[in-house]
């Protein structure tokens, strides 16, 4: 083999190795960006969850526990005639609606949120259903809480946090109202 052919082969091998290295760097960079994005999304989800706890403590009108259907029903009934109660319910539900929207657009981590508050969101939707339907019937707005409703429906059965072996909570949504 003449020296020109050897040089051509060496150059071809070096070019292929360089191209392989560049492809590997691109793949590794993409993986690192995905990991960083996932980390940031989860961090923001935790920050918002913590903010929820703070907002409930600083509200001038104490909202009932989400799981207490009787207290929520009484509270929302009062909200029909008392402006302060109505605004408290509206702000609370709008908060969760914005979180559900963040999950839909990938800003927040749906899996982490489901693990943190899945059963709670199901309770919120179930126990505030009468109020949501009342707002929709009044037409202000007719699509009130659509994102939250869709998120809970997409999740279907929700496991309580930290108990993979625990019985699941299923919420039947009355969409005919």
Confidence of residue 58 (pLDDT cuts 50, 70, 90): low
Residue-wise pLDDT for 73-126, tens only, equals 999 999 888 888 888 888 888 888 888 888 888 888 888 888 888 888 888 888
User: Would you state the pLDDT for residue 167?
Assistant: 42
* pLDDT score at 73: 92
Give whole-number Cα distances, 168 to 26, 61, 63, 161, in Å.
42, 32, 26, 10
Q: What is the pLDDT of residues 14-45, one digit of tens each?
A: 888 888 888 888 887 787 787 777 777 777 77
What average pLDDT does the segment 142-162 reach?
74
Quote the tokens at residue 81.
């005639």
The model carries a pTM of 0.63
Contacts of 161 (CB under 8 A, 6+ apart): 115, 116, 117, 118, 119
- Mean pLDDT of the region 156-162: 50
Tokens of 25: 């760097």
Mean pLDDT over residues 11-16, rounded? 87
At 74 the pLDDT is: 93
Place of tokens 């980390």: 39
Q: Are 131 and 89 in contact (CB under 8 A)?
A: yes
The token pair that represents 27 in the structure block:
């793949």
Work out the pLDDT band at 56, boundaries 50, 70, 90: low
The percent of residues in the chain predicted with pLDDT above 90, rounded, is 6
Which of the two residues, 165 and 43, has the higher pLDDT score? 43
Alpha carbon 48 to its chain centroid, in Å, reads: 10
Q: What's residue 65's pLDDT?
A: 85
Q: If you average pLDDT over every residue of the chain, what do you get?
A: 78
CA 103, distance to chain mean position in Å, is 4
User: For residues 176 and 163, what is the distance between their CA atoms, to the nearest angstrom?
Assistant: 33
Share of the chain above pLDDT 70, in %: 82
CA dihedral over 79, 80, 83, 87, signed as positive or negative: positive
Contacts of 67 (CB under 8 A, 6+ apart): 120, 123, 127
The residue behind tokens 């993986």 is 31
Q: Where are the alpha helices (DSSP H) in the chain?
A: 3-58, 69-79, 83-104, 110-127, 129-138, 146-155
Cβ–Cβ < 8 Å for 87, 138: no
């Amino acid at each position: 083999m003449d020296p020109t052919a050897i040089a051509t082969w060496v150059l071809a091998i070096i070019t292929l190795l360089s191209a392989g290295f560049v492809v590997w760097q691109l793949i590794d960079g993409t993986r690192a960006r995905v990991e960083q994005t996932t980390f940031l999304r989860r961090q923001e989800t935790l920050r918002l969850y913590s903010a929820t706890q703070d907002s409930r403590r600083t509200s001038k009108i104490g909202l009932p526990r989400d799981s207490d259907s009787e207290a929520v029903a009484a509270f929302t009934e009062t909200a029909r005639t008392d402006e302060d109660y109505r605004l408290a319910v509206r702000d609370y539900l709008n908060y969760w609606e914005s979180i559900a929207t963040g999950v839909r657009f990938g800003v927040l981590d749906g899996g982490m949120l489901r693990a943190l508050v899945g059963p709670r969101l199901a309770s919120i939707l179930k126990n505030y259903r009468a109020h949501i339907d009342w707002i929709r019937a009044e037409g202000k707005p007719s699509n009130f809480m659509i994102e939250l409703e869709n998120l809970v429906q997409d999740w279907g059965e929700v496991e309580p946090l930290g108990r993979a072996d625990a019985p699941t909570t299923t919420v039947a949504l009355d969409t005919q109202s």
